[in-house]
A and B are shown apart, each in its own frame.
Chain A
Amino acid sequence: MTSLNYEMKYNTRPRIWAVGGGKGGVGKTVITANTAISLAQQGKLCVALDLDLGGANLHTILGIPNPDRSLTDFLSRKVGSLAETMLPTPYPNLHFISGSKALLEMANPKFSQKEKLIRHINSLNVDYVLLDLGAGSAFNTLDFFLSADEGILVVIPEPTSVENAYHFIKAAFYRKLKRATKKSGVVEAIDKAMVEKVARGIQSPRTLINNVLQINPEAGRALEEEARGFRPNIIVNQARKHDDNELGTDIAQACQDYFGIRIRNLGHIDEDDSLREAVRLRRAVVEAFPVCSFTRAIHSIVKNLLEARDEQR
């Protein structure tokens, strides 16, 4: 048992950063783990939570080969609170909640379970909770992404990854709008806008909002408000060429031009051999190689995210 009571001690809830982004294998888990360690190194009390149910491996990156407690214990009510599933990690200030051994049906938790989980995440007595989301843009993934203070998308400079990122942004945006209203006519208008499956020919959110404003001005204004609050972040991982460095800016610009959605570019991470070396040593990169380019990029991303918060105030 953790010696501290990690629940409901702080008056303020933790800040939640969720890392997702369509395609698998783009580095979400490695980025989540190292971002959490970077924050922890700065003295922030952190929890890294593995929500990649069914494909969890955050525990390995954090150096905990066989977690003896996991999210399953909470979802199956073996324990009463999420805090009881927290495990210490080799890194000071950083705890971890495993998603491994999650029962298959848990990979798709029901709405009430999901709401309960989000409630418990918010009541953890820490400064930051990092969510490692699975690949894809299923509703559950989107909901965790949207419940976070900062949603972070990871893309790599490959057409498939970029395509998935656009799909994810669009799906998250419409999901957010849809959750904001139950008004008749409005829901149908959003559904209609969502039907377009391919990235091209997307009905721009601005057009959608204008349509809704005509159907129902009150709902339209509510959607405008929701749209303003939607500002996902983007990280370009595995950058190899000079051009890759500008992919984040380019995607942000295209999203602004085409969807009217503002994206914050957090920066790029160059491909770095230190990653492979760190995995071999079973240590996290930011701890094992404090001056490599990957570590520098992670620290800079954390700095950008912390500054993003100040700029919102």
Chain B
Amino acid sequence: MLSKDYKLLDLDKDATVQDARRAYHRMKALYAESSLATYNLMLSEERAEKLDAIERAYMRVCMEIESRSPTHGSAFIPAQAAPPDPPEPGESIGNYLKRCREHLGLTIRDIAARTKIRTTYLEHIESDRISDLPAAVYLRGFVLEFARALELPDPEAITAVYLKRIEREDE
């Protein structure tokens, strides 16, 4: 049964919590109603069944990973996962946000879905493309939401640092 779950999520036997989460989000997006890749492959009942199967498989896989390596914590509550390393000296906040996102096994798409911020903006923020970023008044909200979606310890502080650096480089 369990190996079937791993197969359904396209996971290796030794997958980590992050792998499982990433796979889960990927499969959910792939079999979502709006998915370009599968919209004409299945009837809506089939789709509902598939999505249900993904949920169940993910739940069982997470439980299995927890029992296998309890130190990893629960996959369902990101806060309990091992926190990402704090920003390194000289590291840009954009890069830090990207690192944290990847640490949680989330895609830009996932963040966009949670924050309702366009993926292009999120990408610009991550890669510190100052010229492509929206005006500071919007940017503030975007970075804040981004940091919150990642459940970082102090979103306000991160946003402040980000804006300060942008300001400096803009001069």
Contacts and interface: CB of A to CB of B under 8 A. Distances in A.
A258 B41 contact: yes
Interface string B100-142: 0000000011000000000110010000000000000000000
Contacts of B42: 200, 258
A242 B41 contact: no
A254 B30 contact: yes
B41 A243 contact: no
A199 B41 contact: yes
B76 interface: no
Given A163-B40, A166-B41, A199-B40, A250 B35 contact: yes
Nearest to A242: B119
A251 B31 CA distance: 11
Interface size class, chain B: 20 to 34
Interface in A243-260: 243, 246-247, 250-251, 253-254, 256, 258
Nearest to A162: B36
Interface in A226-280: 241-243, 246-247, 250-251, 253-254, 256, 258
A251 B37 CA distance: 5
A250 B36 contact: yes
B38 interface: yes
Interface string B20-41: 0000001101100001111111
A159 B37 CA distance: 8
B95 to A, nearest CB: 18
Interface size class, chain A: 20 to 34
Contacts of A163: 40
A63 interface: no
Contacts of A200: 40-43, 46
B40 A250 contact: no
Contacts of A136: none
Contacts of B43: 200-201
B36 A247 contact: yes
A43 B15 CA distance: 42
A159 B40 contact: yes
A157 interface: yes
A270 to B, nearest CB: 13
A250 B30 contact: yes
Contacts of B119: 241-243
B66 interface: no
Nearest to B120: A242
A166 B29 CA distance: 19
B37 A162 contact: yes
Contact of A254 (B38, B109, B123): B38
Interface in A173-206: 198-201
B10 interface: yes
Contacts of A254: 30, 37-38, 41
Contacts of A258: 41-42
Contacts of B38: 250, 254
A254 B38 CA distance: 7
A250 B41 CA distance: 12
Contacts of B37: 162, 247, 250-251, 253-254
Nearest to A259: B41
A253 B36 contact: no
A241 B46 CA distance: 28
Nearest to A258: B41
Contacts of A250: 29-30, 35-38
A43 B58 CA distance: 49
Contacts of B120: 241-242
A165 to B, nearest CB: 10
Interface of B: 10, 26-27, 29-30, 35-43, 46, 108-109, 119-120, 123
25 contacts: A159-B36, A159-B39, A162-B37, A162-B39, A162-B40, A166-B40, A198-B40, A199-B40, A200-B40, A241-B119, A243-B119, A246-B109, A247-B37, A250-B30, A250-B37, A250-B38, A251-B37, A253-B10, A253-B26, A253-B37, A254-B30, A254-B37, A254-B41, A256-B10, A258-B42
Given A166-B41, A242-B123, 17 more contacts: A159-B36, A159-B39, A162-B37, A162-B39, A198-B40, A199-B40, A241-B119, A242-B109, A242-B119, A243-B36, A246-B109, A247-B36, A250-B35, A250-B36, A253-B10, A254-B30, A258-B41
Interface of A: 157, 159, 162-163, 166, 198-201, 241-243, 246-247, 250-251, 253-254, 256, 258
